[in-house]
Chain A
């Protein structure tokens, strides 16, 4: 028989739980590609889901180091623990979850989950915290906080308080990172007579040099290596699809940074082109290139191939593709290949892309020498018939 004191026994019990929990979390974190460690992760998740609610902060903390698959296993355990605890009318460690939420060193996804737990068990407290998230690293917390700012601005507009509503919309715009909110706020600001530089707000790159068209007959140009993939020589001249081609300027004045190649290179089909620009970064460190493109495309950053996609005319939007990069302070070189297919339907005319540089929240990282957003740029003729050759 043991002669341990009740306190010691209790401490040992808690230590045993923590040890088991650490092992289960460690197993879950090993989930990887193509179902790697799925089976052991399932067993560990089932065991972890039996943890007492007091362990929730530790499991939330494990989200800080999990990949996106493992995060879902952990979340499954967390949801199960919460459902079981609340069904038993027992309490959650609200204070610890609240502290976890407010510590911005924790992963944005984990903090958002902590917030949603708080909305279930302490909705008043969660609502009180929400306005403080307008500049939060969590995009979702920020989104909801910006909704409050927009509602406040809308109310001021409704009550005809023009100056106050203008100020409120400006505050909302400064915080907003999601396109739907930015669209709404920009529309309101413009209606109030304010100038809004959306390309600058988003961080779109608006000044490019482009060259083409090169051949993309039968879509072979997507894989073909044309000279700009080997060198970026501003004064070079190459054999294009139908004639000699040289680098020329392409600007974008579009709110969403769309660089339209048709008016610059001619509206033709089965072609490809390259666009390049120098981005002078104010900082060194991780960032995202966010691309939108409905044509086939490839992208290189500082000479390194990042990704390519041979999908044509299935739609494009801001931030369609998020490409993590590490910025060098100072000069960084971007090269984008944009391919056009043979389809001549009206909705396949676009030959364009949009690209911005931002952090993980979508906050623009503006180049040190960012030129003013162009007031205008060449437009494609709305009635011009596309030529296949």
Chain B
């Protein structure tokens, strides 16, 4: 798969393993982990453990070796920022650090201050919160640096809450802080938290997450979405390299596979990256492939979209043609994740459904009802699925599956 091939190109630049889940929606924002073998025929027995969390949160957990990292927020004003490290094997807590928010913590009640998913290079954790506080910790929980971006730029906030997740582009942390007022994206030096660049972005609320579209030894390009479309910037300078101006979602995010960027735009639009300074090429556009709050999922040459009615559509990634569509049980706020021939969808009421994507018309293979509220997107790592509600972190998988421990740096 092209996405996996690109990811493997990135690995030498980090300390990560291919089975790790290091950012929102995993490798390249594909929401796919083909090397993980998860059970399709889910039963309650596949719930390996559930572990209580100290606060609210809809951020996804990260999986790094045999450890999980997750954020939460608590307190009467939701101004306590939590970062936790747990054992993947049993959900027990290894360490927890708390910080005080320096920015505004008001959000829509459906989300909370711990909405952005952290990212990691396998050695450090970069956690962002709706208060626009950004933290860098090592994997032992030691604070390396902290930024208070609303403290630095006082009108950078959204009263509905900020939700974009940061991503790593080499040694630059790219973080969109896009809102109706002081709207920008920032490239932060991962070593000390200083600004590499800060660019003005459209004055409009935006909750989408960037994605890396290309990476070489010398240059990394990052796609920033907005209502205007996609702006692809140089991760070192923040300068725009090229743009797709056909419009875009400010909620769901783009996904990358090889040389094609799949953009939630007028349904879904497949954009071929330009070569040698040329223009991007629209390969196909399908207005029926609506994304609602979920982002497109790429797996095995197919693209999956989930609309607001809970209709999961499977299409050929090459031309957007229909393979099948399936009604599932919503409502959803999260993005599905894929492993092998199965997709996993968690609705807001806690119903986890596995969908057999190899069935001729797609089929809901099995489900587990957690009877809990889930807004955040699951993660996959080392043969297990990790889901977090507002109160608990859950591990789903074969109980016999070994956890791939690896030496920590």
Q: Which residues of A contact B (CB under 8 A)?
A: 31, 33-35, 38-39, 41-42, 45-46, 49, 68-69, 71-73, 75-76, 79-80, 83, 109, 139-140, 143, 178, 180, 294, 307, 309-312, 314-317, 320-321
Q: Does B282 contact A (CB under 8 A)?
A: no
Question: Which residues of chain B have C-beta atoms less than 8 A from A45's C-beta?
Answer: 142-143
Question: Which residues of chain A have C-beta atoms less than 8 A from B96's C-beta?
Answer: 79
Q: Does B155 contact A (CB under 8 A)?
A: yes
Q: Are B151 and A68 in contact (CB under 8 A)?
A: yes
Q: Are B100 and A311 in contact (CB under 8 A)?
A: no
Q: Are A75 and B159 in contact (CB under 8 A)?
A: no
Are A316 and B142 CB-contacts (below 8 A) given A69-B102, A69-B151, A75-B100?
Answer: no
Interface residues on B, range: 35 or more
Please list 16 pairs of residues, one from A and one from B, whose beta carbons are closer than 8 Å in the complex, sorted by A's number: A34-B195, A68-B151, A69-B146, A75-B98, A75-B100, A76-B99, A79-B141, A83-B141, A109-B100, A180-B76, A309-B181, A310-B181, A310-B203, A311-B158, A316-B159, A320-B159
Q: Does B167 contact A (CB under 8 A)?
A: no
In the bound complex, CA of A31 to CA of B75 (Å):
25
Q: Are B160 and A33 in contact (CB under 8 A)?
A: no
Q: Are B155 and A309 in contact (CB under 8 A)?
A: yes
Q: Are A314 and B142 in contact (CB under 8 A)?
A: no
* Closest CB in chain A relative to B382 CB, distance in Å: 26
* Closest CB in chain A relative to B395 CB, distance in Å: 24
Q: Does B147 contact A (CB under 8 A)?
A: yes
Question: Which residues of chain A have C-beta atoms less than 8 A from B145's C-beta?
Answer: 35, 38-39, 41-42
Question: Using a Cβ cutoff of 8 Å, how many contacts connect chains A and B?
Answer: 100
Q: Are A38 and B151 in contact (CB under 8 A)?
A: no
Q: Are A35 and B98 in contact (CB under 8 A)?
A: no
In the bound complex, CA of A314 to CA of B106 (Å):
10
Nearest A-chain residue to B133, judged by Cβ:
A72
Q: Are B195 and A178 in contact (CB under 8 A)?
A: no
Q: Does B144 contact A (CB under 8 A)?
A: yes
Nearest B-chain residue to A83, judged by Cβ:
B95
Q: Are B152 and A33 in contact (CB under 8 A)?
A: yes
Question: Which residues of chain A have C-beta atoms less than 8 A from B98's C-beta?
Answer: 75, 79
Q: Are B179 and A69 in contact (CB under 8 A)?
A: no
Q: Does B310 contact A (CB under 8 A)?
A: no
Q: Are A320 and B106 in contact (CB under 8 A)?
A: yes
Q: Are B180 and A312 in contact (CB under 8 A)?
A: yes
* Closest CB in chain A relative to B82 CB, distance in Å: 11
Nearest B-chain residue to A181, judged by Cβ:
B76
Of A309, A310, A311, A316, chain B has the most CB atoms within 10 Å of the CB of: A311
Question: Which residues of chain A have C-beta atoms less than 8 A from B151's C-beta?
Answer: 33, 68-69
Q: Are B142 and A46 in contact (CB under 8 A)?
A: yes
In the bound complex, CA of A136 to CA of B48 (Å):
44
Main secondary structure of the interface of A (DSSP, over half): helix
Contact with A along B156-172 (1 / 0, CB 8 A): 01111000000000000
Q: Are A311 and B180 in contact (CB under 8 A)?
A: yes
* Closest CB in chain A relative to B192 CB, distance in Å: 4
Q: Does B154 contact A (CB under 8 A)?
A: yes
Q: Does B193 contact A (CB under 8 A)?
A: yes
7 smallest A-B Cβ distances: which pairs? A76-B143, A314-B159, A35-B194, A315-B159, A35-B193, A311-B180, A38-B145
Nearest B-chain residue to A310, judged by Cβ:
B181
Q: Does B148 contact A (CB under 8 A)?
A: yes
In the bound complex, CA of A45 to CA of B146 (Å):
12
Are A314 and B76 CB-contacts (below 8 A) given A69-B151, A72-B100, A109-B100?
Answer: no
In the bound complex, CA of A307 to CA of B203 (Å):
18
Are A140 and B75 CB-contacts (below 8 A) given A35-B194, A310-B181, A315-B106?
Answer: yes
Nearest B-chain residue to A49, judged by Cβ:
B142
Question: Which residues of chain A have C-beta atoms less than 8 A from B142's C-beta?
Answer: 45-46, 49, 76, 80
* Closest CB in chain A relative to B248 CB, distance in Å: 20
* Closest CB in chain B relative to A280 CB, distance in Å: 30
Q: Are B194 and A34 in contact (CB under 8 A)?
A: yes
Contact of B141 among A42, A80, A317 (CB under 8 A): A80
Are A315 and B160 CB-contacts (below 8 A) given A68-B151, A72-B100, A80-B141?
Answer: yes
Question: Which residues of chain B have C-beta atoms less than 8 A from A320's C-beta?
Answer: 104, 106, 159
Question: Which residues of chain A have C-beta atoms less than 8 A from B193's C-beta?
Answer: 35, 38
Q: Does B205 contact A (CB under 8 A)?
A: yes
* Closest CB in chain B relative to A386 CB, distance in Å: 19
Q: Are B76 and A76 in contact (CB under 8 A)?
A: no
Question: Which residues of chain B have C-beta atoms less than 8 A from A83's C-beta?
Answer: 95, 141
Question: Which residues of chain B have C-beta atoms less than 8 A from A39's C-beta?
Answer: 145, 191-192
Nearest B-chain residue to A142, judged by Cβ:
B76
Q: Does B406 contact A (CB under 8 A)?
A: no
Are A307 and B154 CB-contacts (below 8 A) given A35-B147, A73-B146, A316-B159?
Answer: yes
In the bound complex, CA of A75 to CA of B80 (Å):
12
Q: Are A140 and B76 in contact (CB under 8 A)?
A: yes
Q: Does B399 contact A (CB under 8 A)?
A: no
Nearest B-chain residue to A68, judged by Cβ:
B102
Question: Which residues of chain B have C-beta atoms less than 8 A from A294's C-beta?
Answer: 159
